[in-house]
Amino acid sequence: MPHDFEFEKGMLFGEWLHEQMREAMHFEDEAWAIDRVRRVEDRLQAGREAGHRMVVEIPWLDEVTAFTAPGHYIYFGRRLYESCSTDEMVAFVIAHEMAHHDLSHVKLFAGWALKITRLPGASLFALAFHALEHHLYGPQKECDADRHALDLCLAARYDAHKCLELFDILEQYALDMEDYDMVYGPDVDSDDELDENASWKTKAQIWAWQRRRGYLPIRDRRQMLRKHLTKSQENKPGTKQ
């Protein structure tokens, strides 16, 4: 299994987390939801060996979020899932979580998972797992995961512009919650804070902001990905998206 590890005799961390999640909440099992998610996960993973394939689950989380962990499960929160009206949006969310595996980010959990699983109230930890993920990864890894996700979607021949419409959904949700910081970030005049060429000061600012908030501003993520797309198209003359 991708980056899973044994933490007790015969018990893999990813499987333990999955069991805790199953016990603590309902997983969506309606055909409309499952059919779509299987269709997208198959298309994204067409070239992967069976042992490296991820399985997407749709738990009824309170938050509009998705996350992954060591093991082969991706958790796509039901509220985020129902907001995604196209396969392309669903594909980008899943591909972002796959990227955390492909880029070995999930390995970061291995060092202290043992301690956590023995805490009283470990099932609560399972619920809070996604919040922790953001703090472990940091903005650099999140940006890398976003770029790799877009590459995975392109490789599966999804329309990249339609994939990026996911950010319209995230932005609308944040605006509905009146969370303007989440949309615009620390500098409302700039969509370029995640630019590789941004000044040191800008990078420091975004880093501090992300540390405080636990996630990146949506506009900056979208802008960074648009640039990545332009760059990948320039590198492949003749390819059209």
Question: What residue ranges bind Zn ion (CB under 5 A)?
Answer: 142, 145
Q: Which is nearer to Zn ion, 98 or 229 (CB)?
A: 98
Q: Which is nearer to Zn ion, 145 or 174 (CB)?
A: 145
**Overall residue count recorded for the chain in this entry:** 241
Spatial CA neighbour of 81 closest among 94, 99, 68, 70: 94
Are residues 92 and 161 in contact, defined by beta-carbon separation less than 8 angstroms?
A: no
Q: H helices of the chain, where? A: 13-24, 31-44, 78-83, 87-102, 110-117, 122-155, 160-164, 166-176, 180-184, 200-213, 218-235
Closest contact distance (angstroms) between CB of 120 and Zn ion is 28
Distance CA 100, CA 133 (A): 10
Closest contact distance (angstroms) between CB of 99 and Zn ion is 8
Distance CA 144, CA 165 (A): 19
Distance CA 33, CA 27 (A): 11
Q: Which is nearer to Zn ion, 130 or 219 (CB)?
A: 130
Distance CA 75, CA 28 (A): 11
Q: Which is nearer to Zn ion, 207 or 233 (CB)?
A: 207
Closest contact distance (angstroms) between CB of 17 and Zn ion is 16
Q: Which is nearer to Zn ion, 126 or 145 (CB)?
A: 145
Closest contact distance (angstroms) between CB of 238 and Zn ion is 32
Closest contact distance (angstroms) between CB of 149 and Zn ion is 9
Give phi and psi for 70, each to the nearest 5. -55, 145
Closest contact distance (angstroms) between CB of 93 and Zn ion is 10
Q: Which two tokens stand for residue 152?
A: 């995975």
Q: Which is nearer to Zn ion, 207 or 241 (CB)?
A: 207
